[in-house]
């Protein structure tokens, strides 16, 4: 009894079609994504910020509603960061110092490393950059949700050891108005003067 030879020509054809469909799907998805980003930017205000549930530096549960009525300078980072976070948070502190002491602006540090940054850690860290600075932490799920609304990327750096790891994260300072709306953002290129002058326009 001889086995029937496999219909290789048909198998190759089916696999070929599958590959073409898969590539078309990936291409269509990325095309769709880039159009989405363009739409949001051309539509005016970027869709940044939104609801969150976190824990403040005194251990109290807070949401975005607790900060309505205050202009915010929001930065996501982590207290073990060796370079970028301290530089950017010091910049925020310097910008706030250029404004009147009673200016309605609250700097907010949100950790993206809740595993190591608890209530005590974010409190000490935030206060070291400015007495007005709020420190927020939460569960990993809460942090992920908050970072998502601000379009902040973060991930544990797998190249570093397990006990003394670093975090990869986007470094953007968001300026949110008293209604919780996005006003502007600043990068590592921005100066304290630029931040202060933008905030001053809104006060």
Catalog residues that contact Ni ion under the rule CB under 5 A.
77, 81, 84-85
- Determine the residue with CB nearest Ni ion: 81
The 10 Å CB-count burial string (b at 16+, else e) for 39-72 is: eeeeeeeeebbeebebbbbeeeebebeebeeebb
Give the DSSP H/E element, type plus range, for residue 47: none
Least distance CB 81 / Ni ion (angstroms):
3
Cross-strand partners of 196: none
Residue number, 152 or 176, with CB nearest to Ni ion:
152
Residue number, 62 or 84, with CB nearest to Ni ion:
84
Least distance CB 143 / Ni ion (angstroms):
14
10 Å CB burial of residue 27 (0-12, 13-18, 19+) is exposed
Q: Give one word for 49, left, alpha or beta, with left for phi > 0 and alpha for psi -120 to 50.
A: left
Least distance CB 192 / Ni ion (angstroms):
18
Least distance CB 88 / Ni ion (angstroms):
8
Residue number, 35 or 153, with CB nearest to Ni ion:
153
Residue number, 34 or 87, with CB nearest to Ni ion:
87
């Amino acid at each position: 009894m001889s086995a029937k030879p496999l219909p290789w020509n048909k198998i190759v054809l089916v696999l070929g079609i599958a590959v073409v469909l898969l590539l078309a799907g990936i291409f269509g998805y990325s095309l769709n994504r880039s159009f989405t980003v363009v739409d949001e930017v051309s539509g005016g205000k970027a869709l940044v910020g939104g609801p969150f549930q976190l824990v403040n530096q005194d251990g109290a549960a807070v949401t975005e509603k607790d900060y309505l009525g205050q202009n915010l300078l929001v930065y996501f980072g982590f207290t073990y960061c060796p370079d970028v976070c301290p530089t950017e948070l010091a910049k925020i502190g310097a910008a706030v110092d250029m404004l009147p002491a009673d200016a309605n602006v609250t700097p907010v540090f949100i950790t993206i490393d809740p595993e190591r940054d608890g209530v005590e850690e974010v409190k000490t860290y935030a206060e070291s950059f400015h007495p007005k600075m709020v420190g927020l932490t939460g569960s990993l799920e809460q942090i992920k949700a908050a970072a998502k609304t601000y379009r902040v990327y973060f991930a544990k750096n797998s190249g570093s050891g397990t006990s003394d790891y670093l975090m990869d994260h986007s470094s953007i300072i968001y300026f949110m108005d008293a209604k919780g709306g996005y006003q502007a953002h600043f990068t590592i290129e921005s100066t304290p003067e630029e931040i202060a002058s933008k905030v001053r326009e809104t006060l």
